[in-house]
Structure 1
Amino acid sequence: MERQKKTALVACVVSLMLAATGCSSASSQAEQVGDGSGEATLSFMTSEPKSIVPQKDPGSQIGMALCANLMEVNSETQKLEPLAAKSVTSDDAQVWDIELQDGWTFHDGTPVTAQSFADAWNATATGSNAWQGNGTFVSFEGYDKMNPLDGGKAKASELSGVKVVDDTHMEVTLKAPNRDFPAILSTNPTCPMPQSAFDDETGYDQAPVSNGPYKFDSWEHNQQVVMEKWDGFKGAEGFSGGAEKLIGKIYTSVDPAYTDMTAGNLDMIRNVPATMVDKASSQLGEEALYKVAIGSKQQTLQVPAYVDELTSPALRQAISMSIDREAIATSLLKGHAEPSDSLVPPSLESYVPGSCEACTFDPKEAKEILADDGGFEGTLTIESNSNSDQQLVQAIAKQIQDNLGIKVQMKPMLGTELSERRNNQKLEGAAFGLWGWSYMSPDQYLSQYETGGDGNLATGYSNPEVDKLLRAARAEMDDGKSTELFKHAEAKIIKDLPAIPLFIPTDYGLQSKCAVLNDVQGDLQYYRAGYGC
């Protein structure tokens, strides 16, 4: 691709075209009774939200339903396409021109303008606000002045790289070229916000107004969040779903949600634990299982650089080699996962088979490596989300303890607490977690190992050579050359093992008779589900 030519938005992004995945209804399940209103209602499993504002909880399925980004992946074409934007273009991948669609409004009827995006981005990028979406703006010019690394007072309140030209035009300047910028504009932290969000922040937190296919109706804390289809949404069908009403039912773990589904009182569950898949197939029927077509997720042990007793790469290598991934994948996970041997999943072009040599099970060598490193006298703590995968974490902990001969302690907690501890560098040990992409790019995995990168707070890893390679990979518009640079970056990171690759889970969702799940480049999104009754 020639640099001097005006680069069209989709051409700048590494995209993978997928065939639309069909799914049948679960005939063995009880007839879904809905909410008794006669509307086409679908319900889904969620936990009690820390926030339902998209910028404050970027991974929220509720936030995804409420928000329409400038760019989005169309579930029918599996391509990144303009949504609230009319075009996103650049000559050099560093300065980007954005033109908005005409006539878009928020759910309250107020217009969506370029200023609506700029105001939301500035608020999210303000470090003192402590919104989880903050890291999305790391690459924007001016971010550093709003987020001083020394923890001092911010020197700016707005991103200098964001300029509003008029109501439908804006210009964004990045600190360095980034080929993935149009894809970044498909993520929740880049949603717009109306003026009402800043006039009454407390009220807005409880009843947000956005511009997406569903609008907020009610939030009964620890019970449910209700959203209704918004007639004013101007996006195509590939950006929305078929339900007239969406109900996020709140559970503390997947087990009671599964019980409700077997009783016909719940329509959708995503990220189904591998230990539950066979049971669900038997009890609900194979039609209830939805297998995501492309693997976008990876389970890892993230090891913080700020925990003194875990800083040794040799210790991390020994821990990794003490885990029999193949045995766990075959027995406990019933074949619904495969061992991971890289910091990126096999579905990406930059994947190099076997790049993690320390991911090979060898307990004898692991003990020798640990002994040569001076041993380990303390207790390895593994922090994890108590709502999921506890059997898996227990199996991993037992193998490390038995095969390496060190003490291992599990520390389960609510997902919101684990997220807060990771984001504020309060971890006391390794953290077990599931990592996936917001858009399809190796940068979504490797940028968390860049100094100051998005997600870097979890490990605090820093390597100047890695930083240089990642910046070069983003700036390279030739797909092949960019892929090679990402490969070189991963090769350097894997030597230090700031995160230990564990498994690539086969991703399943559960759907009732009335729910027709759709995936978007490897991610199940409840609000995209069709209504099948």
Structure 2
Amino acid sequence: MLKKKMIAVVAASAAFMLSASGCATGAGAEGAQDGEKKLSFQLTEPTSLVPHEDPGSQVAMASCANLMEVNVESQELEPLAAKSVTSDDATTWKIALQDGWTFQDGAPVTSDSFAKAWAKTATGSNAWQGNGNFASFAGYKELNPTDGSKPTTDELSGVKVIDENNFEVTLTAPNADFPKLLSTSSLCPLPEQAFSDPDAYEKNPVSNGPYQFVSWDHNQEVVLEKWDGFKGDDGFSGGADKLVGQIYTAVDAAYTDMTAQNLDMIRNVPATMVSKAKGQLGEESLYEVKTGSKQYTLQIPEYVKGLEDPDLRRAISMSIDRESIAASLLQGYATGSDSLVPPSLDSYKEGSCESCTFDASGAKDMLKKAGGFDGTLVIEHNSASDQQLVQAISKQIQDNLGIKVALKPMLGTELESRRNNQKLEGAVFGLWGWSYKSSDQYLSQYETGGDGNATTGYSNKDVDKLLKSARGEQDEATAAQQYAQAETLIMKDMPSIPLFIPTDFGLQSKCAVMNDAQGDLQFYRAGYGC
């Protein structure tokens, strides 16, 4: 049997940073004329620049060095800020830090830098987005009282500091994916000033990663510069001296700037834009991510009245002609999804979603079985992307089921808040991707209290039991079987309708050389190619 490489991971020695030279065109040209290698990238207005508050932020990823990280050269998960991460039982983990690492202001990175950052993130009353990543830590419940009372402690009991460079983490149950979890931004360290003067720190954050914060002109741009003190090797950073995140509310505006040579990089490029980019920017402008890690879904909150019946959800799913939309609107750069996980994961079982096959007549029969639907199906979505796609889906539901559908577009920050605070009024359309490669990253959304579970609020004790068992299983084949069994149970209730697996493209200028790490395209990893 294949075993997970999770018992002991030890760091390789640090090497030199990426470098490049030459002339420049496009968005990097102005900086390159005076010797500066500058790359610009598409960005939405951040909710915060602190990784724990906005873990998915490209700015946060660039400024933080995790304990573990995927090396883009080896495509393997390796220690970064950690020297080693070891465990005998996948429940208690010993972490040793690299010697001599500092924050960008020169303060040392110590065990306390992690322990205090994790405790603050895990405290529910702080309402930081990274909170859910600590649900498996011993002491998490004490920091997140369910009765609305204030925590009686400000520490995670499962995190024990031994000395400046060594600490120990105890989980509530075995988790063979724990080293992967350590590669996420919400588990970054924080310097002392983040606790002594948090308001000032929010405006001028300091971390330990390859790029350091320079400025944030709200709704305009965020500027980062290469930090010479970063000790990670080539596979953990990029080749630009300066990164400029140019803020857009829609991808179309970003694309216009790229055609005018005023932008270097765009990620999550809509399929509708790919053919246009080929003609206007050339084939070399497209970067195809090697591992499919993303999925479009229509998630249905359990708390929205009128949408509770699984047969109604199946009817909605059956009314959508995925293959037609994939071939026409998405121009072949997507496939219809038939599972809650993408095919790149070991637990994927073809056809696990039986009602994901288009059947207009069967959809109407299923709607009758559900007792019909007299209201209006509201679909909430991010106004900054995929407008045509969500419109096509809603039209098919409306035409093939004969029910009313109303779209509710909004900014991503508002949608995120509505999801996390269970304020949704209908189904929510969105694109989901993993923070690290694991079926748990998708299915934990449907675990009681799991990461992302706030969107649907779905709960099933049998599902919880299977996910807990799979998470702690060290044999990969057995874990995949258990994740598949959990998905089968989830699909009976259908809290989420799988839609599409997109071919994931980025757009790059002549000066940007994009890289991806196991399905995740990160701007700060780009090489400088001019």
Identify the range of structure 1 (144-153 vs 384-393) with the bigger mean alpha-carbon deviation.
144-153
Counting only pairs closer than 5 Å after superposition, residues 78-89 of structure 1 correspond to structure 2 as: 78-89=75-86
**How far apart in 2 are the matches of 1:216 and 1:140?**
30
Q: Using the TM superposition, give the Cα deviation of residue 9 of structure 1 relative to its aligned residue in structure 2, in angstroms.
A: 3.3
Which residue of the partner structure matches residue 184 of structure 2? Answer: 187
Structure-2 separation of matches of 1:32 and 1:62: 18
Give the Cα–Cα distance (whole angstroms) in 1 for the partners of residues 302 and 315 of structure 2.
16
Work out whether residues 215 and 223 of structure 2, in 8 Å CA contact, stay in contact via their aligned partners in 1.
yes
Q: Does the CA contact (< 8 Å) of 1:141 and 1:174 recur in 2?
A: yes
| CA spacing shift, 1:153–1:33, aligned 2, 3 Å | same
> Counterpart in 1 of 2:15?
none
Residue 344 of structure 2 corresponds to residue 347 of structure 1: yes
Deviations 1:38-60, CA, capped at 9 Å, x for gaps: 30000000011111111100000
- Map 1:322-341; keep pairs closer than 5 Å: 322-341=319-338
Conserved? CA contact 2:43–2:246, under 8 Å? yes
2:278 aligned partner: 281
Partner of 1:234: 231
Query: How far 1:6 sits from its partner (Å)?
Result: 9.1
Partner of 2:294: 297
Structure 2: 5+ residue stretches without partners: 11-22
2:467 is aligned with 1:461: no
Instruction: Name the count of aligned residue pairs.
Output: 517
What is the alpha-carbon distance in structure 2 between the residues aligned to residue 151 and residue 390 of structure 1? 39
Residue 19 of structure 2 corresponds to none
Could you tell me whether the CA contact under 8 Å between 2:26 and 2:511 is conserved in 1?
Answer: no
The alpha-carbon distance between structure 1 residues 34 and 354, as it changes in their structure 2 partners (threshold 3 A), is farther
- Structure-2 residue corresponding to 1:33: 29
1:33 counterpart letter in structure 2: A
Partner Cα distance (1:172, 1:230) in 2: 30
Distance 1:206 1:30, change over 3 A: closer
Q: Which amino acid aligns with 1:453?
A: G
User: Matched residues in 2 for 1:255 and 1:80: separation?
Assistant: 34
Q: Note the C-alpha offset of 1:2.
A: 11
SS of 1:33's equivalent in the other structure is helix
Letter in 1 for 2:124: G
Deviation at 1:374, TM superposition (A): 1.0
Counterparts of 1:339 and 1:34 in 2: how far apart (Å)? 43
Task: Tell me the TM-score normalized by structure 2.
Answer: 0.95
Shift of 1:32: 4.2
1:115-194 alignment runs, 5 A limit: 115-194=112-191
Aligned: 1:475 with 2:465 = no
Residues 1:379 and 2:372 aligned together = no
Q: Which residue of 2 aligns with 1:487?
A: 484
1:209 matches 2:179:
no
1:356 maps to a residue whose letter is C
State how 1:516-527 maps to structure 2 within 5 Å: 516-527=513-524
Alpha-carbon distance in 1 for matches of 2:142, 2:265: 43
Report the Cα offset of residue 187 of structure 1: 0.1
Q: Is the 8 A contact 2:28 2:37 kept in 1?
A: no
Aligned in 2, Cα 1:200/1:320: closer, same or farther, shift over 3 Å? same
The equivalent of 1:416 in structure 2 is 413
Report the residue type matching 1:378 in the other structure.
Answer: G
1:231-264 deviation per Cα after TM superposition (whole angstroms, max 9, x unaligned): 0000001000000111101111111111111111
After superposition, the C-alpha distances for 1:360-384 in whole angstroms (9 at most, x for unaligned) are 1111111111112211111000000
Give how far 1:156 is off: 2.9
Whether the 8 Å contact between 2:26 and 2:263 is mirrored in structure 1 is no
Asked if 1:8 is matched to 2:8, the reply is: yes
Match of 1:310 in 2: 307
Conservation of the 8 A alpha-carbon contact between 1:124 and 1:133: yes
Distance in 1 (CA, whole Å) between partners of 2:409 and 2:25 is 33
Is the 8 Å Cα contact of residues 43 and 249 (structure 1) preserved in structure 2?
yes
Alpha-carbon separation, structure 1, partners of 2:412 and 2:241: 30
Query: Which residue of the other structure, out of 85, 99, 104, is the alignment partner of 2:101?
Result: 104
- Identify if the C-alpha distance between structure 1 residues 48 and 362 changes in structure 2 by more than 3 Å, giving closer, same or farther: same
Q: 1:307 to 1:37 in 2, by over 3 A?
A: farther
Output the amino acid matched with 1:206.
Answer: K
Relative to structure 1, the CA distance from residue 516 to residue 6 in structure 2 (aligned partners, 3 Å threshold; closer, same or farther) is closer
Amino acid at match of 1:417: E
8 Å CA contact 1:45, 1:269 repeated in 2: yes
SS of match in other structure, 1:473: helix
Residue 250 of structure 1 pairs with residue 247 of structure 2:
yes
* Alpha carbons 1:268, 1:512 under 8 Å: kept: yes
- 2:103–2:191: 8 Å Cα contact kept in structure 1? yes
What is the DSSP-based 3-state SS (H/G/I as helix, E as strand, rest coil) of the residue aligned with 1:309? coil
Q: Is the 8 A contact 2:26 2:264 kept in 1?
A: no
Question: Is the CA contact (8 Å cut-off) linking 1:100 and 1:168 kept in structure 2?
Answer: yes
DSSP 3-state at the match of 2:183: coil
- Superposed CA offset, 1:305-331 (max 9, x none): 011211111110000000000010011
**Matched residues in 2 for 1:6 and 1:491: separation?**
27
Distance in 2, matches of 1:419 and 1:496, equals: 24
One-letter amino acid matched to 2:265 = M
- How many angstroms apart in 2 are the aligned matches of 1:322 and 1:212? 47
Which residue of 1 is the match for residue 16 of structure 2?
A: none
The alpha-carbon deviation at position 145 of structure 1 amounts to 1.3
Q: Tell me the C-alpha RMSD between the 2 structures.
A: 1.7
Q: Is the 8 A contact 1:6 1:91 kept in 2?
A: no
> Offset of 1:37 from its aligned partner?
4.5
Q: 2:180 is aligned with what amino acid?
A: A
Counterparts of residues 501-516 of structure 1 (less than 5 Å): 501-516=498-513
CA change 1:6–1:406 in 2 (3 A) is closer
> In the aligned structure 2, how far is the partner of 1:474 from the partner of 1:31?
44
Give the CA deviation at 1:198.
1.1
- Give the partner amino acid of 1:117: F
Question: Do the aligned partners of 2:28 and 2:38 also contact (CA within 8 Å) in 1?
Answer: no
Q: Unaligned regions of 5+ residues in structure 1, if any?
A: 11-26
Match in the other structure for 1:259: 256
Percent same amino acid among aligned pairs? Answer: 69
1:255, 1:389 → 2: CA distance? Answer: 10
